[in-house]
């Protein structure tokens, strides 16, 4: 089985790197740091990387401040690429792929284009953290509290607190085993789901006031501009989960959140409830994701971006 093969790569080598996708979310960070702590604990040399700055919200995770943003001059035996459907999502760190004897790609996105030497894509996994858990266990290793904190964070964030349809009995069994290590999971949940900064609350009131509804209130669009962020003293990451306010409206099937990155360039987050496969919509703009949560980058001014995305949603309407 491929997880044994990857286990053997771990056992037989010493120098590892781990990287995940840009604009990292809880799964990217949690799975990276879970594998990072584990490899450290079994005595391996390991560097963790991410092409972007990690949101400070995750600073409670062991190893958070070790994550590097720029390549160091080193050749690795093996590099792990986690939660990353294609090479482009590595941004400037794509160069890492040329700095290792073996590249191992571990992911749960159906759209993964199998870019590595060893590819393991499990689309039934709610989060990459589940796969890292299985990798560690199947190869006969223990999971420390440090590793468990990271893997729990990966799983609980990508499943929206075990609420989304990607949650399986396997997800809950794994989470149960992680909790059995003695981690303070209520505190982790509080940090991840029930904590906002003053800046975020101020921003939330501005963002929700941009609400526009279409198709009998079944499509909701909200946005944030750089000016709005500045007025609230907020940073880019402070808006990261606000798409949920669009999705959560009772009549809404598709929630859209548009975030200005720079003039003429916007990040679009898409969420759906029951019918619409938002990954298909994101892929029209060279993005991707999952059936109920996807994202892409769209170019143009705000109204153009809004119209392009709306038209594409209407094209997929069932
Ligand atoms: P978010 O809206 O939170 O940025 O992203 C939702 C999901 O869509 C993420 O889990 C991620 O897998 C995926 N995603 C977001 N943006 C992109 C993108 O530009 N390309 C690809 N391939 N996937 C994306
Ligand atoms: Mn993920």
Q: Which ligand is nearest to the Cα of residue 266, counting in written order? A: 1
Gap from CA of 5 to ligand 2 centroid (Å): 22
| Ligand nearest to the CA of residue 26, numbered in listed order | 2
- Ligand 1 pocket, residues with Cβ under 6 angstroms: 25, 85, 89, 109, 111, 269, 287-289, 293-297
Domain boundary among 193, 209, 238: 193
Q: Pick from 193, 220, 238: which residue ends a domain?
A: 193
Q: Please report the pLDDT score of residue 240 as a whole number.
A: 86
Q: What is the pLDDT of residues 42-55, one digit of tens each?
A: 999 999 999 999 99
Its pTM stands at: 0.94
- Determine the pLDDT at residue 142: 97
Domains of the chain: total: 2
Let me know whether 184 and 46 are in one domain: yes
Query: Which distant-in-sequence residues (6+ apart) come within 8 Å of 302 by Cβ?
Result: 223, 225, 258, 260, 266
Ligand nearest to the CA of 236: 1
Q: Is residue 208 located within the same domain as residue 143?
A: no
Tokens of 92: 């400037």
**Alpha carbon of 293 to ligand 1 centroid (Å):** 7
> Cβ–Cβ contacts within 10 Å for residue 233, how many?
12
Give the tens place of pLDDT for each residue, 2-28.
999 999 999 999 999 999 999 999 999
pLDDT of residue 227: 97
| DSSP for residue 68 | B
pLDDT digits (tens, 9 = 90+) for 58-78: 999 999 999 999 999 999 999
Taking the C-alpha atoms of residue 165 and residue 159, their distance in angstroms, rounded to an integer, is 8
Question: What is the pLDDT averaged over residues 102-114?
Answer: 97
CA of 289 to the centre of ligand 1 (A): 5
CA neighbor of 273 nearest in space, from 243, 295, 253: 253
Q: What are the tokens at 37?
A: 């702590």
CB atoms within 10 A of CB 142: 11
Q: What is the pLDDT of residues 200-249, one digit of tens each?
A: 999 999 999 999 999 999 999 999 999 999 999 999 889 988 999 999 99
- Which of 164, 254, 294 has most ligand 1 atoms within 8 Å of its beta carbon, as the pocket-test mutant? 294
Mark whether 80 and 123 lie in a shared domain: yes
Mutate to test the pocket of ligand 1, among 293, 297, 298 (most ligand atoms within 8 A of CB): 293
Instruction: Mark whether 29 and 155 lie in a shared domain.
Output: yes
Residues 108, 213: one domain?
no
Range of the domain at 226: 198-315
């Amino acid at each position: 089985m491929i997880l044994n093969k990857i286990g053997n790569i771990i056992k037989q080598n010493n120098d590892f790197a781990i990287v995940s996708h840009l604009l990292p979310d809880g799964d990217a960070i949690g799975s990276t740091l879970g594998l990072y702590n584990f490899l450290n604990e079994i005595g391996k040399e390991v560097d963790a990387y991410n092409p972007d700055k990690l949101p400070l919200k995750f600073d409670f995770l062991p190893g958070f401040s070790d994550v590097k943003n720029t390549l160091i001059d080193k050749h690795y035996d093996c590099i792990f690429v986690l939660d990353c459907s294609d090479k482009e999502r590595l941004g400037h760190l794509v160069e890492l792929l040329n700095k290792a004897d073996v590249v191992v790609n571990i992911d749960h996105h159906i759209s993964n284009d199998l870019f590595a030497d060893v590819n393991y894509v499990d689309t039934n996994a709610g989060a990459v953290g589940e796969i890292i858990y299985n990798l560690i266990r199947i190869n006969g290793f223990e999971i420390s509290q440090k590793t468990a904190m990271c893997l729990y964070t990966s799983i609980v964030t990508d499943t929206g607190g075990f609420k989304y349809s990607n949650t399986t009995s396997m997800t809950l069994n794994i989470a149960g085993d992680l909790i059995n290590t003695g981690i303070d999971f209520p505190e982790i949940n509080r940090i991840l789901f029930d904590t906002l900064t003053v800046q975020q609350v101020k921003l939330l009131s501005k963002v929700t006031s941009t609400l526009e509804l279409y198709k009998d209130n079944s499509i909701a669009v909200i946005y944030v501009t750089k000016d709005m962020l500045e007025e609230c003293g907020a940073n880019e990451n402070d808006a990261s989960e606000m798409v949920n306010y669009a999705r959560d409206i009772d009549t809404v099937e598709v929630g859209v959140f548009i975030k200005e990155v720079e003039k003429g360039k916007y990040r679009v987050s898409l969420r759906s409830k029951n019918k619409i496969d938002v990954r298909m919509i994101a892929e029209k703009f060279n993005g991707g994701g999952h059936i109920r949560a996807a994202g892409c980058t769209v170019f143009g001014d705000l109204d153009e971006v809004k119209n392009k995305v709306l038209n594409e949603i209407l094209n997929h309407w069932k």
